[in-house]
Each structure stands twice: as structure tokens, then as C-alpha cells.
Amino acid sequence: MKKQGYKLFKSTNLQSAKYIFLILVFFAGSFALARPNKLGRFMTTFYYVINEKSFFLADEVPVKDVQGGTIAMVSVEFKKAMDIEGTGILRDGRTVNYAQRIEGEIRYRVSSAKWGWGVGQCKLIPYKTIAVDPKVIPLGTRVFIPEAKGALLPDGTKHDGIFYAEDMGSAIKDYHVDLFSKEGMESSAPYESVGIHSSGYVDILKISDPDPKGCHTKDPLNLRSVKFPFLGKMLEKLKIEADEYARLRKPTELRRALRMINDLRANLELEPQADLSSLIMQVSAPDINEVNGSTLGDHEVVLTFDDGPHNTFTPAILDLLEKQNQKATFFEVGEMVKAHPQNTRLVAGHGQMLGNHSYSHPQLTKIPIADVKKQIQMTQRIIVESLGGSSEFNKYYEFFFHRPLFAPEFMRSPYGSRNDQTMQVISDLGFLHVMWNVDSLDWKDPSPQGIEDRVFNQLETVGRHGVILFHDIHPQTVGAIGLILPRLQREGYRIVSLLELAKTPIPRIR
């Protein structure tokens, strides 16, 4: 009996030991699988949604869908910002986000999700989504960022440090991640409160692999199956065109073709065609950073006003332009902006463009080159300050475009006086220089009728197109504009914005 009891006890213990062993193995394996696996140290930036309501109304450009249709007309500055961030909220409340790049232009789709979608059909979740390079972190991977744990979120909860990897436009490369926050640059505050900063670094650990049936595996627009058959042929065609533009010494067209080639190669997941840039250097283009109206089409004109803003005449001209629904560019002098900042704000508020016309209106070719730079930079700063751009957008714009928010992109030298040295400074500061080929001479002609006749006589002489020079500091100019605007319309002229004339500002090439 004792022997049998011993055998039973021994058998029971052996079975228990086996079960205990299996349980330990199971938990050990589970722990090993659950334990985060370090993927590396990554540079961080922030990604957030841009709201159109935060931008001034100005010259409008279309936001296009994949088929080329117009989703909405938006301000130029908002479109630039959205092209970088990839997602925006329109004035009518719709959310649009990146869909595809076609012929160098970013195309969008209207999103039913409040914060937009990733490249697949994954909704972007504030403080939970990060943009990654799929070659480094597969899309859909669940990751842990220790530095983010404990960050106080807007809803009062604390971050658990867990994120989901997504692709929001193929802009993120290598060991770099974009942490999605919410709306506006200030929404990144929870990250910064725990020491995560733009251009800083964090450790990233993998928690789990992607779900093979997850949303990140879907391609809602079926883009890949559509684009690959013809992109290769288009790429070869563009290469042939680039060679031809180089032969014909057409730098603007050549630069545009090169950009399109590299965009296509990015779509095909190929390396950039860097060697093509050598073609650019074969083209001598001393005046490539200047426009003067000679490239405008038949019966196309650009209206420009120098030397303001004036406290009386600038508002009067703005009213005339508004009544005719026309666009113009005002090249302002820094001293005048300082004296009448409210009128610079008025120009911007009317949706008209601003240009830099130096600080004290000297002849730039007769002052030291260091002073040329100061004249331009002082004016730029005063214009920006007069517009009162919010600190959020000033930081955003300066970070990405290396110039302050709402700052003019165009420069005109006083008296049109420039040489190679001053043009180099203008180009180095990032401006496109604007000359004229129709001079109203309004500053010395007291007769509005005489100014009108002179403008139309010169237009006939130069081929019925051009950049027209006026000055918004003389009473006769107000009267002349009242005559010229309706006559331009009667004679079939189209007034285009300076942005349309200079669709792709090209830096000076040496």
C-alpha cells in the first residue's frame, strides 16, 4: 500500500513538474516576445495639421485632386505650408491630405477623417501616430518611445509612450520620425514638455510587428497599379527634353524638367538623378533671377506700384483694384512702412502682393555692398513686423523656408539700378528681382489722361504685354488707375499676378 502510494505521489509530482515547466516556458517566451526590441536612435520632428483660417487671404492657387480637378482655391502661403505638412483644414471645414505627387505637383484627397489619413487607409491619431521611413520601420509597427511616456496630453491623460508607424507622403527618410500632434505648431507642447524637441533624438523600441490585414496594407486610390505603367515612359521623355533645353540654353525650362525627373524617380522609388544637375551649369544665365514682363503672353500685364505705402493714395488705389477685382504688387520702402504700417497691413488685407524696395530708396549701385544687404534686410524685417504674423507661423515659415512669414519674395531696386554685385546679393537673400518694360512716368506727369495714353502707347511698342511701373505716392496716379483699369478690360487685356509671371522663381546660377 505504501509502495503504491509512493508511486502515485511520484507520478503526480512528475506531472506537476511538467506542467510547471511548460508554464514557465510559456511565460518566458511571452515575456521575450513582449519585451521591446530597440530599433535605434531616431531624429525627431513634429507633424501637425495646418488650418487655412490662420492665414491671410492673398493670391489664390488651386488645391488639386489626383485627376487634376480643383478641390478648392486657397492662399499661396497656406498651400506652401500644407505641401510641407501634408494635411490641412480648409475654410469650409473639409480636411484634405496628401495623395500623390504628379508632374512635380502635390495632389490631395478630401478626407472623411478629422485629422486625415496616412498613405494607406489608417486614420491619423493625435499623439499616437508617427511618420516613418517604411524601409526602416515597417508601416503598422507598434513602437514605444520611452521619452514620451508621462507627457501630459491636452485631454488631461498621460502618454503611455506607444505609437503606430505610418507614412504621410514619403517625406521621412532613414532614422528620422515625425511625431503627429494635432492642429498648429503649439500642439507639439506635450512632446516638448518631456524633452522631445524638433531636430532632437529619441530611442525607439519595437513592441509588435504590423498586422498583415491592417489598414496600412491598403491603397485606397489604387495608385501603384495606375502609375507604374506610364511613369517610366514619361521619365525617358523628360530626359530627352532636358537635354534639348540644355542645348537651347533655356535654364528655366531645364530646371523645371529636372525637378519633374527627380519627382518621378521618387515615385518609382529610384535614387534622384543627381548627374542631370550638371546640365544646369552648362547654361549661362546671368539674369536668371530677374523677370521684366517679356515672357508674358499676348495682352497680359502685371501692375506694380513703387515707393509707398502712402497714407491717402495707397488706400485709394486699393479700393479701385478691389472694385475691378484685380491684382497688383506694391514694392514698399522701409521708411514708409515704418511711418504707415497700417497701410502695409491694408495692402496684405486686400489680398495684394508686397515687394521689397529698399529701406531709404538709395541707388544701390552707389553704396557699399554691405549696405545693400542692410537696406534689403531692414525693409524685410519692418514689413514682417508691420504685418504682425503670429509667432507660431513665423517660427514655422522661417524653419522651412529660411525667411520670415509673410515676407515679400520679390525685390525691385530703386530707379531700377543694379549690377552684378547687387544682383548677387538680391539672389543670395532669396529674392526674385522684378523690372518693368512699361514706365508710366506718373511721378512727373500731373495729368491722369497723359499717364493713361503713355501706358497704352508703350504697350503697343513692346508687343501688348508687360510689367507696368506706377508709384502709389502721387494723386495723379490714383486718377490714372481709375482710367486705365476699365480700358485694359475694354481692350481685352488680362491682369495677372506677379506670382503667375514668376511661377518658379529660379536662383541665380554661376
Residue 467 has pLDDT above 90, yes or no: yes
Mean pLDDT of 102-118: 75
Mean pLDDT of 433-455: 95
Mean pLDDT of 217-225: 40
E strands present in 52-137: 60-64, 70-75, 87-89, 95-102, 105-111, 129-131
Catalytic residue (one of 83, 263, 306, 472): 306
75 pLDDT band (50/70/90 cuts)?
confident
364 pLDDT band (50/70/90 cuts)?
very high
* 160 against 216, higher pLDDT: 160
pLDDT score of 503: 54
Identify whether the C-beta of residue 139 lies closer than 8 Å to the C-beta of residue 216: yes
278-314 pLDDT, tens digit each: 333 333 333 447 888 877 889 999 999 999 999 999 9
Give the closest residue to 414 by CA, choosing from 437, 434, 442, 432.
Answer: 434
205 pLDDT band (50/70/90 cuts)?
very high
3-state secondary structure 389-458: CCHHHHHHHHHHHCCCCCCCCEECCHHHCCCHHHHHHHHHCCCEEECCCEECCCCCCCCHHHHHHHHHHH
Other beta carbons within 10 angstroms of residue 69's beta carbon come to: 9
Identify whether the C-beta of residue 117 lies closer than 8 Å to the C-beta of residue 194: no
Percent of the chain with pLDDT over 70: 70
Mean pLDDT of 49-53: 82
Euclidean distance between CA atoms 319 and 321, whole angstroms: 5
pLDDT score of 118: 72
Euclidean distance between CA atoms 507 and 428, whole angstroms: 8
* 433 against 184, higher pLDDT: 433
318-360 pLDDT, tens digit each: 999 999 999 999 999 999 999 999 999 898 888 788 999 999 9
406 pLDDT band (50/70/90 cuts)?
low
C-alpha cell, 302: 502685371
Catalytic residue (one of 340, 433, 471, 474): 471
Active site residue 471: yes
Euclidean distance between CA atoms 131 and 134, whole angstroms: 9
* 264 against 30, higher pLDDT: 264
pLDDT score of 233: 59
| DSSP H helices in 248-312 | 251-267, 277-281
Percent of the chain with pLDDT over 90: 33
Euclidean distance between CA atoms 89 and 91, whole angstroms: 7
Q: How is 161-199 classified by DSSP, letter by letter?
A: SEEEEE-SSS---SSEEEEEEEESGGGGHHHHHTT--TT
Euclidean distance between CA atoms 331 and 498, whole angstroms: 12
pLDDT score of 319: 95
120 pLDDT band (50/70/90 cuts)?
low
Q: Which of 50-54, 102-106, 108-112, 325-329 has the highest mean pLDDT?
A: 325-329
Active site residue 340: no
pLDDT score of 397: 42
pLDDT score of 159: 92
223 pLDDT band (50/70/90 cuts)?
very low
186 pLDDT band (50/70/90 cuts)?
confident
Residue 410 has pLDDT above 70, yes or no: yes
Mean pLDDT of the chain: 77
In this structure, which amino acid lies at residue 507?
A: P
Per-residue exposure over 96-114, b if at least 16 CB sit within 10 Å of its own CB, e if not: bbbbbbbeeebbbbebeee
C-alpha cell, 66: 489626383
Our CA angle for 375, 379, 384, nearest 5°, is 155
Identify whether the C-beta of residue 411 lies closer than 8 Å to the C-beta of residue 425: no
Residue 438 has pLDDT above 90, yes or no: yes
375-397 pLDDT, tens digit each: 998 998 888 888 764 444 444 44
Residue owning grid cell 523677370: 291
In this structure, which amino acid lies at residue 300?
A: E
* 445 against 134, higher pLDDT: 445
Identify whether the C-beta of residue 408 lies closer than 8 Å to the C-beta of residue 355: yes
pLDDT score of 506: 32
474-505 pLDDT, tens digit each: 999 999 999 999 999 999 999 998 877 765 33
15 pLDDT band (50/70/90 cuts)?
low
Residue 60 has pLDDT above 90, yes or no: no
Residue 417 has pLDDT above 80, yes or no: yes
- Lowest pLDDT segment from 233-242, 318-327, 439-448: 233-242
Residue 109 has pLDDT above 90, yes or no: no
